[in-house]
Structure 1
């Protein structure tokens, strides 16, 4: 019996591209080492896979939607605004802000955990850490074009 294999979104898109470019299903099955039905299922779900490819991280293996989509959207908008100003954002700060948005939206059953922040970062391909680089250290007011 063959081992179960989980494909990333990028791998699925590569398989779909191969099928679109004329590779046959049997050849791909032998090359990758999966059954015919696995490739057929990817082909059948190609619109969902391609949509996920264009909007999300390529490393994810399952496309899951968060249970508190409104909090997630608000936190993502806030996160992008802070990052555009080169503000470093830690996990505890994200947790605090997520709890703040939950209170604003009247969610009494939501308490942001470290695992929720971890999954948020995975879904949106964000990283923890310092914002560094020369462009972050120079104020735009001091730069003159001569």
Structure 2
């Protein structure tokens, strides 16, 4: 029995685009070492895969929705607003804000952990890094030029 192979979203999109360009199922099966049904399932779920590709990280292998979607949406809106003002945000500060929004939304069973923040960052492609002093002073026009 062949070992199980899990494809990333990017790999699935590549396979779907090759199928759309007329490549044969059999050739793809041989190349990736998977069964015909695996490729067919990707083709059948292509709309869902493409939606995930456009909105999420390319490295994820399973499309899971968060259990506290309302907290996540509120935190994401707040995070984007802070980033647009070049406010540096650390992990503990994000945790504190998530707990704050949970209390505001009346969620008593939610406690934000480091792993929740890690997965939040993964789902939304948030990379933590230093904001340089000059980064905010450069106009978008100069960057385009």
TM-score by length of 1: 0.91
1:31: how far off?
A: 1.1
Q: What is the 5 A alignment of 1:45-124?
A: 45-124=45-124
**Closer/same/farther in 2, CA of residues 139 and 50 from structure 1, 3 Å limit:** closer
Q: Take 2:51 and 2:14, find their aligned partners in 1: how far apart are those partners?
A: 14
Structure 1 gap ranges (5+): 141-146
1:139: how far off?
A: 8.4
Aligned-CA RMSD value: 1.4
Q: Match of 2:142? A: none
Q: Take 1:47 and 1:118, find their aligned partners in 2: how far apart are those partners?
A: 27
TM-score by length of 2: 0.92
Structure 2 gap ranges (5+): 140-145
**Closer/same/farther in 2, CA of residues 105 and 32 from structure 1, 3 Å limit:** same
Aligned pair 1:11/2:22, yes or no?
Answer: no
* Equivalent residues, number: 139
Return structure 1 stretches of 4+ with deviation > 2 angstroms: 132-135
Secondary structure at the aligned position of 2:135 is classed as helix
Q: Match of 2:27? A: 27
Q: Take 1:122 and 1:83, find their aligned partners in 2: how far apart are those partners?
A: 17
1:13: how far off?
A: 0.4
**Closer/same/farther in 2, CA of residues 25 and 78 from structure 1, 3 Å limit:** same
